[in-house]
């Protein structure tokens, strides 16, 4: 078709507005005429599809070999495969052909590549579901009260509105689930129909009879029954099914990082300040979601008036070794509690022991479900009377508070022998229990670094006692402010005497009383 024919077609069509008549007058087929009228372009301006080569195929010699690799390992990247082929066949391939090879691989994958998993968009109903997940916060290097704070966020999201809340968490645990649900549900005063979780051990456990399927933990089922929602888990190794909360994990961490940069510091004076900071970040994130949240609240269910407590309860008996076992972890307690049956309230970060309603002991909770936490202050008074028990004590390694104490023990054994060395160490440990552990540790470090004096209880006690300063209580000096005496001058000598005595007392205080 020539440009002249198409120009005639355009002219006739402008006059008649009839495609068939204009095509006849221009000497072309009606369909062809319709195509040019729709495009409003001349044949010379329409790019032609070229189906012939203008040069030899540079990949002709190696393409069959490349196909074998691609069929066996479809995940191979084009660049990696190309570099391998260049090394194997340098005479058949040139490094300048990389882009050509990448385009060829891309075309092959579109025509014959493997099928890709399809993700199906879902119609999410308001108030139907909430999704739970944990996200690690350690990469942000948060410091609280001068100490690096290692933690996670237990993160809850409503997929319809993307309204989200989170609370600090030490680990993925049932207690962190209770904590975030309490915060979330009672801030809304309503609950969605379903809670969707992944297959973490905090929420599910493996069913023994099948070996592969997982069921919900009893504690989580009780929580769901109390608050009135059902439970649903994602399929194993399918985090995309919890896609909303998974996606918002990354978004909220970026928001927190940006807020920290604007704040100019990632250090906080207290946990309360850090919690307030997090709440501010979430409030800003949730502000544009309030309208959709209102739609969800209209169809959500009501919740009980009182929330579940943020702790679990169990009864423990203090064993003869002055220890209790809580959640598979052994803790030492004061020996006065031996033989008692106590109620343990297990929080995420602490354990409180009660007899009735009286709190008798509180201790930090160990992270994990195995191990022991032995405080030497609870048992040293008995152990020093039975020093032979130290040699084979089951939790002996726990009685070295720091590496300095461990090094001191080894030095004591080498200098004084096994029996006397153990006794010396236990005396030093008792000294640490009765004073400041840091003072005893400093004394041990000085002795370990000394080449003239060996480590011993006597030397450590002497160094610790040097640190203690004697503070004598001074009698309060009350000057005579009687106006009449000042006017009459009758007690001038007494006043001078009192002033002189006060001066001497002050000088004596400066020389003899030094505050530590």
How do the domains of the chain map onto residue ranges?
3-45, 63-112, 129-299, 312-373, 377-467
Q: In whole angstroms, what is the distance from residue 89 CA to residue 63 CA?
A: 12
What CATH number does domain 129-299 carry, 3.30.420.10, 3.30.365.10, 2.40.10.10, 3.30.420.40? Answer: 3.30.420.10
Q: What is the mean pLDDT of residues 331-346?
A: 95
Per-residue pLDDT at 357 exceeds 60 = yes
Q: Residue 255: its pLDDT value, please?
A: 94
Q: Residue 230: its pLDDT value, please?
A: 93
Please report which confidence band the pLDDT of residue 511 belongs to, taking 50, 70 and 90 as the band edges.
very low
Q: Residue 468: its pLDDT value, please?
A: 57
Per-residue pLDDT at 323 exceeds 70 = yes
- Residues in Cβ contact with 49 at an 8 Å cutoff, skipping those fewer than 6 apart: none
Residue entry with tokens 């942000």:
140
CB distance 186 to 272 below 8 Å: no
How does pLDDT run across 380-396, given as a tens digit for each residue? 999 999 988 998 899 99
Q: What is the mean pLDDT of the chain?
A: 85
**Percentage of the chain exceeding pLDDT 90:** 54
Q: Residue 203: its pLDDT value, please?
A: 82
How many helices (DSSP H) and strands (DSSP E) are in the chain? 18, 17
Neighbour tally for 199: CB within 10 Å:
17
């Amino acid at each position: 078709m020539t440009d002249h024919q198409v120009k005639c077609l355009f002219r006739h069509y402008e006059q008649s507005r009839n495609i068939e008549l204009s095509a006849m007058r221009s000497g072309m087929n009606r369909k062809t005429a319709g195509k040019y009228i729709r495009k409003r372009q001349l044949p010379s301006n329409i790019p032609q599809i070229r189906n012939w080569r203008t040069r030899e195929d540079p990949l002709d010699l190696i393409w069959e070999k490349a196909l074998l690799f691609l069929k066996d390992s479809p995940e191979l990247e084009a660049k990696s495969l190309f570099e391998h082929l260049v090394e194997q066949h340098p005479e058949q391939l040139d490094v300048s052909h990389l882009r050509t090879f990448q385009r060829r691989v891309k075309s092959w994958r579109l025509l014959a590549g493997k099928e890709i998993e399809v993700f199906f968009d879902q119609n999410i109903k308001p108030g139907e579901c909430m999704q739970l997940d944990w996200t690690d916060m350690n990469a942000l290097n948060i410091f609280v009260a001068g100490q690096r704070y290692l933690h996670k966020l237990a993160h809850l999201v409503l997929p319809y509105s993307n309204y989200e809340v989170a609370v600090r968490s030490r680990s993925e645990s049932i207690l962190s689930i209770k904590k975030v649900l309490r915060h979330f549900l009672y801030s809304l005063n309503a609950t969605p129909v379903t809670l969707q979780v992944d297959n973490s051990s905090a929420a599910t456990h493996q069913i023994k009879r099948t070996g592969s399927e997982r069921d919900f933990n009893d504690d989580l089922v009780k929580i769901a029954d109390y608050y009135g929602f059902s439970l649903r888990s994602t399929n194993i190794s399918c985090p995309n099914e919890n896609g909303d909360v998974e996606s918002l994990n990354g978004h909220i961490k970026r928001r927190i990082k940006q807020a920290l940069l604007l704040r100019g510091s990632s250090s906080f004076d207290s946990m309360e300040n850090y919690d307030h900071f997090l709440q501010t970040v979430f409030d800003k994130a949730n502000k544009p979601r309030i309208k959709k949240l209102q739609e969800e609240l209209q169809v959500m269910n009501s919740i009980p008036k009182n929330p579940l407590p943020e702790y679990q309860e169990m009864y423990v008996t203090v064993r003869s070794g002055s220890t209790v076992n809580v959640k598979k972890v052994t803790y030492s307690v004061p020996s006065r509690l031996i033989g008692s049956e106590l109620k343990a309230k297990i929080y995420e970060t602490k354990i409180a022991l009660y007899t009735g309603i009286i709190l008798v002991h509180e201790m930090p909770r160990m992270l994990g479900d195995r191990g022991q936490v032995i405080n030497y202050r609870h048992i040293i008074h008995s152990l020093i009377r039975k020093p032979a028990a130290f040699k084979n004590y089951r939790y002996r390694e726990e009685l070295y508070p720091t590496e300095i104490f461990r090094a001191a023990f080894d030095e004591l054994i080498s200098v004084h022998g096994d029996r006397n060395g153990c006794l010396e160490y236990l005396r030093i440990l008792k000294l640490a229990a009765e004073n400041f552990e840091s003072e005893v540790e400093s004394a041990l470090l000085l002795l370990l670094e000394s080449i003239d004096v060996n480590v011993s209880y006597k030397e450590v006690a002497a160094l610790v006692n040097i640190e203690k300063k004697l503070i004598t209580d001074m009698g309060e000096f009350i000057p005579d402010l009687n106006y009449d005496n000042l006017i009459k001058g009758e007690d001038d000598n007494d006043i001078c005497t009192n002033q002189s005595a006060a001066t001497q007392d002050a000088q004596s205080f400066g020389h003899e009383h030094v505050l530590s």
